[in-house]
Amino acid sequence: MKRANVQALRKSALIAATIDQIGATGSLEVTVSQIARKAGVSSALAHHYFGSKDQLFLAAMRAILSDFGAEVRAECAGLETPRRRVDAIVRTCFSPGNFRPEVVASWLNFYVLAQTSREAHRLLRVYQRRLHSNLLAELRPVADVRAPQIAQTVGALIDGLYIRQALRNESLDAAASIGLVTDYLDGVLGAKPQDSKDHRP
Amino acid sequence: MKRANVQALRKSALIAATIDQIGATGSLEVTVSQIARKAGVSSALAHHYFGSKDQLFLAAMRAILSDFGAEVRAECAGLETPRRRVDAIVRTCFSPGNFRPEVVASWLNFYVLAQTSREAHRLLRVYQRRLHSNLLAELRPVADVRAPQIAQTVGALIDGLYIRQALRNESLDAAASIGLVTDYLDGVLGAKPQDSKDHRP
DNA sequence: AAAATTATTGATTGACGAGTCAATTAAAAA
DNA sequence: TTTTTAATTGACTCGTCAATCAATAATTTT
């Protein structure tokens, strides 16, 4: 295998292991050794490639954020109406990939990390702003001046549903969460009957 | 000073210091020594009274939770209509006491703690259930079968606005947060003109 | 093949922090 | 006053863990 690939392979294995381990323990108090073991390498190698534990955390954040961004773009591609694209964004937030317990737990912990780390803070703001501007762009045509407020409400609602998932609130799974947001949107925008069967009964 | 009072005094000083310190560092990675110093006592004394760092964290959680509960009760007392009581609950969530940066940061960190600690998890569920049932009780008369879903949306929205506060999102202060929730309620319940001037322009 | 580069790790260091304990001081009860 | 009980702490123990480094193995380049 080519050398460049080995490096990339190790890095992504370490990033995946980081997310898994944060998810497994529900905390940032994971040791580099635990992560490295899970990735099948030594802790020294993790330091070699990432420099520090914090850098590893940030890399994991960037990975989650960029996966999320890519998924949103993919889901929205080809959709005809703004409303459908809004729904696609919402669905993506709760998609199987993004709503996995490890990912939600990591997300929550990244919020905590953002209190200490400038870079984590910056990354989270980038995510928030991107989500907001995506929503805004789609809402503008259908909600006009109300669009900014609706976008903010949807954004906060999504974050709130996420945090509740972190508490493993069984009554609020992905489908129910999507349903809540969609119903809110139906309410403020006016229902959209032909699509509203999206959420399973 | 009587002895019983000394103990209570130290305990509450330590609890306040815990919340301050979590707020100041934005993390649970605070040392018992830091907390004790801030409370003006030795770390040994903190261990003497609380047994362990975790117990101290849990005591701080209970304090925040019980303060919050008391404030809700006080705010709702004497209010005539369900809708006004709902608004009072929402207002209390974002009141100066509960929306202080240290308190929000502690709250966020308690969510993280709940991933590890059974008791923290339990406490947070108690809070969630109480908030939900309070909202539900007031919404039932005005929203009937839609009440449960509305209550869940409001609950999630509040948590989402909290987490955004933890990121120090300047555009969403307490007034704006209350405004978002109130506008949502106006939308689903039908506006309530005589009160809707609550949020400043 | 030799040299250069990269991958990889075991062992070590150095710092830090939770929890313990024996000892001291202060207050209350007798 | 003496005795008992609570308050309080400094010093210490024992782990743990991030980060480093020198050494070795594997690959690539020359």
Structural domains present in chain A? 57-195 (1.10.357.10)
Say if the Cβ atoms of A164 and B159 lie within 8 Å. Answer: yes
Question: For an interface test with B, which of A153, A165, A173, A182 has the most B Cβ atoms less than 10 Å from its Cβ?
Answer: A153
Beta-carbon contacts of residue B13 (< 8 Å; ≥ 6 apart): B39, B40, B41
Confidence of residue B3 (pLDDT cuts 50, 70, 90): low
A180 touches chain B (CB under 8 A): yes
pLDDT for residue A5: 85
pLDDT for residue B5: 86
Beta-carbon contacts of residue A158 (< 8 Å; ≥ 6 apart): A90, A93, A131, A181, B160
Query: Which residue, among A63, A84, A66, has the nearest Cα to A75 in the 3D structure?
Result: A84
Distance B48 CA to C24 C1' (A): 16
pLDDT for residue A3: 65
Q: Tell me how far CA of residue A196 lies from CA of A170, A183, B9, B33, B151, in angstroms.
A: 23, 9, 57, 56, 21
Q: Which positions in chain A touch B155 (Cβ < 8 Å)?
A: 160, 164
Closest residue to D20 (CA to C1') is A44
A160 touches chain B (CB under 8 A): yes
Chain D nucleotides covered by protein, CB below 7 Å: 6-11, 16-22, 27-28
- pLDDT tops 80 at residue A117: yes
Confidence of residue A192 (pLDDT cuts 50, 70, 90): low
Q: What percent of chain B has pLDDT over 90?
A: 89
Distance A21 CA to C14 C1' (A): 26
Confidence of residue A169 (pLDDT cuts 50, 70, 90): confident
| Mean pLDDT computed over A172-201 | 79
Confidence of residue B123 (pLDDT cuts 50, 70, 90): very high
Contact criterion met (CB below 8 Å) for A89 and A131: yes
Q: Tell me how far CA of residue B15 lies from CA of A149, B25, B35, B198, in angstroms.
A: 38, 15, 9, 34
Residue, of A4 and B54, whose pLDDT is higher: B54
CB-defined contacts A:B, below 8 A = 112
Confidence of residue B24 (pLDDT cuts 50, 70, 90): very high
A90 touches chain B (CB under 8 A): no
pLDDT for residue A171: 85
pLDDT for residue B168: 86
| Mean pLDDT computed over B52-77 | 97
Q: Judge if the beta carbon of A44 is closer than 7 A to nucleic acid strand D.
A: yes
